[in-house]
Amino acid sequence: MTAIKNPQESFVRVLYEFPKGLDPERQGRVLSIGQTVGSVSGETAGRFAPYQGILESVALLPNGRGQARVLYPAQNVSGDLGSLLVMILGKYSLAGPVRIVSLELPPGYGTKCRTGFEGIRERVKVTGRPLFMGIFKPALGLSPDDLARILREVGEAGLDLIKDDEILPDTPASTALSRIKACRPVLEEIERARGRAMLYAVTLSGRADRLLEEARRLREAGANAYLLSPFAYGLSVMEALASHPETNLPIFAHPAMAGALGGSPDYGFDMRVLLGTLMVHGGADAVLYPTSAGNLPIAPETERGIREILQSSGLAPVPSAGVHPGALPRFLPDDDTRIILNAGTGIMDHPGGPAAGVHAFYQAWDRMRNGGSFSPETLPDGPLREAVLKWGT
Amino acid sequence: MTAIKNPQESFVRVLYEFPKGLDPERQGRVLSIGQTVGSVSGETAGRFAPYQGILESVALLPNGRGQARVLYPAQNVSGDLGSLLVMILGKYSLAGPVRIVSLELPPGYGTKCRTGFEGIRERVKVTGRPLFMGIFKPALGLSPDDLARILREVGEAGLDLIKDDEILPDTPASTALSRIKACRPVLEEIERARGRAMLYAVTLSGRADRLLEEARRLREAGANAYLLSPFAYGLSVMEALASHPETNLPIFAHPAMAGALGGSPDYGFDMRVLLGTLMVHGGADAVLYPTSAGNLPIAPETERGIREILQSSGLAPVPSAGVHPGALPRFLPDDDTRIILNAGTGIMDHPGGPAAGVHAFYQAWDRMRNGGSFSPETLPDGPLREAVLKWGT
């Protein structure tokens, strides 16, 4: 094991995990050299040592899997996430199964968020309770006028935030600009009526240059939040979005494609790295991820890990997928209110309509705070009871 | 199975594969609805039908795995690869194991390459033989002057192309601009001396906006090719690079991170989709991929599939990783010369130095064409024999 000569220097620290049968020490050495100087001869050993990765430790887990912790000099990369990914996984990803289970970056590495959870909370003027976010549904096929009508309905009912579905990009049938133009007057109306803003995260799409240009135009036209899928468009695109003065709006990062990078137990990244660490250093303000109480498979400890990483850096966790009013206590683990709870059909498909869906969430929040039961026979008639009868608790 | 009402319309056709135990018909229906309209009620069935995906067929393979072929209306996406990935895999990737094994796009979808294999071949004025490409090694720590010295040596020896290592980004110790400034005069010298150009693909790095801006500056400063890792930076960034008049240079796409998206047999994408189809529609001119005769694991039929997809669209295949002179016949399957053969240490670590590494490749090509043996006892003294003694055949 190589001793660390200058521990005060800036390093990227990566914990890799390998399936049973692969020697973690051997793989750790391959990574520390192959992902830095490339090969070591007598000459390179001296002159190129400052660039070489360091195998810090190896471990064999009780289940037979191996781990190797490698330190990479931060000077080897450009301070961005693209060159980071090339260094820490890059070509080595083609060598066989390997999974990055933890990633520690120098504090200032990458791009920091500008708004964060506190900034979002200030804009919608909510404290002491979770924020509630909706999704326009159906995902495709609604006209800008449809969106404006739904927006008015849920805004008047008190919804804090709303977003496009991530699969609604900029298309001739529904340009992002037409959506903002139709919704901006309604957002202003809602803010006047209730004295606090409502955020609408509009989906960004297109090749990188057009996406960034469109983001500027949308903000000029009155957009007040962005929705971006960084694993489909590139973390480097989110970094750019989070950096320009003309695109200074809260960024909601969507986990689309994250399963391709983190679903397998033997390849890619742990979800805490993808939806936690890389978001913190990639400029996201709020991050959507599957809740373990919802309809997508995720372990509770993985969800907790993501939430803790986001919150410790001031980002907003946005548990999503299968969220509905009756199960509110399960969606707010540890009574944590520093989150944005995101519901699509759980609001829009409420038997009483979208406004009733919003009311049901507020009723659920009141009931939860007061320790009330959610069993249907104890619930008074109204939106929450209807929601529980449809979706359960 | 839903009949296709308007087969003449433009569709994206995706073949999904699922592990044994998952019902492909059920998953195919979930995809066709969940990745388009979201949910289907009585109302949506009519009005939103034009947006809905179509489950075209399902199959159960002899090994128990299931397949589902889904058609998505191309009007649901923006014509770019980012919104495509969100639609065809996106959120569904978080639902469990699924692998995209084939992807068919409308011919004009995405971004077409501008230079392609023919354009590259015209620039370096080579016909009737494979092109030879080298990589500056060690990957990190060489000064611009070191690079210029190595470049002169291999250029005079007749190397057609050279590239940075993908892990050499823009850093204070080696800015991309300093590399181009040091190498441009040498490239001009080489072109004057041998009457044909040599290409040097410089690594692009940084967050998306800076990367694109840097690409413009590098071209102004004399760069004549780019190296980009689209799976680390974003396919949307490659599309942008391939579109601007001020970045009109051949793009060499590096497969860094492709293993995280395509290594697992149950998740992500088949390598033919990643390194074939998505490159064709993402604007790459040349695509690096592991050769099955090299030191990274890839099945020969996968390699052949990648090569055929690239060549059928005019892109240059660049088999890489573990390429050395003695095994040339194995690196040129079917005597195919419409490729760029890429060697790093196989040139730079030749016992006689980089120029001898280049000579060894030309000797190997001559010998192969004339049907000569590569066994060391039959080889005359010289660079090829030295290479065979070091790396074998």
Query: What's the CATH number where A37 sits?
Result: 3.30.70.150
Split at pLDDT 50, 70, 90, the class of A45 is: low
Pairwise CB contact (< 8 Å): A36 & B207:
no
A 269-308 residues inside an 8 A Cβ radius of B: 269, 290, 296-298
Task: Find chain B residues with C-beta within 8 A of A167's C-beta.
Answer: 35-36, 38, 76, 83, 86-87, 90-91
Handedness of CA A232, A234, A240, A243 (dihedral sign): positive
Closest CA to A214 of A176, A169, A171, A265: A176
Nearest CA in chain B to A211: B236
State whether residue B80 sits within 8 Å of chain A by CB: yes
Same domain, A140 and A169: yes
Pairwise CB contact (< 8 Å): B236 & A233:
yes
State whether residue A392 sits within 8 Å of chain B by CB: no
Q: Is residue B241 part of a domain?
A: yes
Interface A:B, Cβ pairs < 8 A: 326
Average pLDDT of every residue of chain A = 94
Q: Is residue B4 part of a domain?
A: no
Q: Is the model's pLDDT at B6 over the cut of 70?
A: no
Nearest CA in chain B to A254: B91
Same domain, B196 and B70: no
Nearest CA in chain A to B94: A259
Nearest CA in chain B to A175: B78
Q: Is residue B3 part of a domain?
A: no
What is the domain count for chain A? Answer: 2
Same domain, B98 and B26: yes
What percent of chain A is modeled with pLDDT above 70?
Answer: 96
Q: Is residue A216 part of a domain?
A: yes
So what's the pLDDT on residue A239? 98
Task: Give CA angle at A289 (A285, A292), nearest 5°.
Answer: 140
Peptide bond into B138 cis (omega under 30): yes
**CB-based contacts of A251: which residues, under 8 Å, 6+ apart?**
A113, A115, A225, A226, A228, A238, A241, A242, A283, A284, A285, A286
Task: Find chain B residues with C-beta within 8 A of A258's C-beta.
Answer: 93-94
Same domain, B66 and B132: no
A 16-45 residues inside an 8 A Cβ radius of B: 35-39, 41, 44
Pairwise CB contact (< 8 Å): B208 & A243:
no
Nearest CA in chain B to A89: B257
Same domain, A222 and A325: yes
Average pLDDT over residues A40-59: 83
pLDDT in tens, B146-158: 999 999 999 999 9
Pairwise CB contact (< 8 Å): A296 & B35:
no
Same domain, B226 and B361: yes
pLDDT in tens, B177-219: 999 999 999 999 999 999 999 999 999 999 999 999 999 999 9
Pairwise CB contact (< 8 Å): A298 & B211:
no
So what's the pLDDT on residue B309? 98
Q: Residue A208 is nearest to which of B50, B234, B345, comparing CB atoms?
A: B234
Q: Is residue A6 part of a domain?
A: no
- Chain centroid to CA A93: 23
CA distance A320 to chain B (A): 11
Same domain, A128 and A176: yes
Q: Is residue B347 part of a domain?
A: yes
State whether residue A153 sits within 8 Å of chain B by CB: no
Same domain, A95 and A192: no
Same domain, B69 and B149: no
Same domain, A60 and A158: no
Task: Find chain A residues with C-beta within 8 A of B141's C-beta.
Answer: 37, 44, 47-48, 50-51
Q: Is residue A2 part of a domain?
A: no
pLDDT in tens, B123-171: 999 999 999 999 998 888 899 999 999 999 999 999 999 999 999 999 9
Q: Is residue A23 part of a domain?
A: yes
A143 Ramachandran zone, left/alpha/beta (phi>0; psi -120 to 50): beta
Q: Terminus-to-terminus CA distance in chain B, angstroms?
A: 53
CA distance A219 to chain B (A): 18
Average pLDDT over residues A17-44: 88
**Which CATH number does the domain housing residue A279 bear?**
3.20.20.110
**CB-CB contact of A32 with A54 (8 Å):** yes
Instruction: Give the span between the Cα atoms of B240 and B231, in whole angstroms.
Output: 14
Average pLDDT over residues A179-197: 96
Catalytic residue annotation of B: 91
- DSSP-assigned letter for residue B312: H
B 48-67 residues inside an 8 A Cβ radius of A: 48, 50-51
At B150, list the tokens.
């190595």
Same domain, A373 and A338: yes
What percent of chain B is modeled with pLDDT above 90?
Answer: 88
| pTM metric for this prediction | 0.96
Same domain, B329 and B375: yes
Interface confidence, given as ipTM, is 0.95
Task: Find chain B residues with C-beta within 8 A of A172's C-beta.
Answer: 75
Task: Find chain A residues with C-beta within 8 A of B81's C-beta.
Answer: 207
**CB-based contacts of B85: which residues, under 8 Å, 6+ apart?**
A229, A232, A256, A257, B235
State whether residue B268 sits within 8 Å of chain A by CB: yes
State whether residue A87 sits within 8 Å of chain B by CB: yes
- Give the domain extent around B367: 116-391
Catalytic residue annotation of A: 91
Instruction: Give the span between the Cα atoms of B38 and B264, in whole angstroms.
Output: 28
Instruction: Give the span between the Cα atoms of B220 and B215, in whole angstroms.
Output: 9
Split at pLDDT 50, 70, 90, the class of A29 is: very high
Tell me which of B333 and A16 has the higher pLDDT. A16
Q: Residue A169 is nearest to which of B51, B83, B240, comparing CB atoms?
A: B83
pLDDT in tens, B263-295: 999 999 999 999 999 999 999 999 999 999 888
CA distance B53 to chain A (A): 11
State whether residue B97 sits within 8 Å of chain A by CB: yes
Task: Find chain A residues with C-beta within 8 A of B89's C-beta.
Answer: 256-257, 259-260
So what's the pLDDT on residue B2? 45
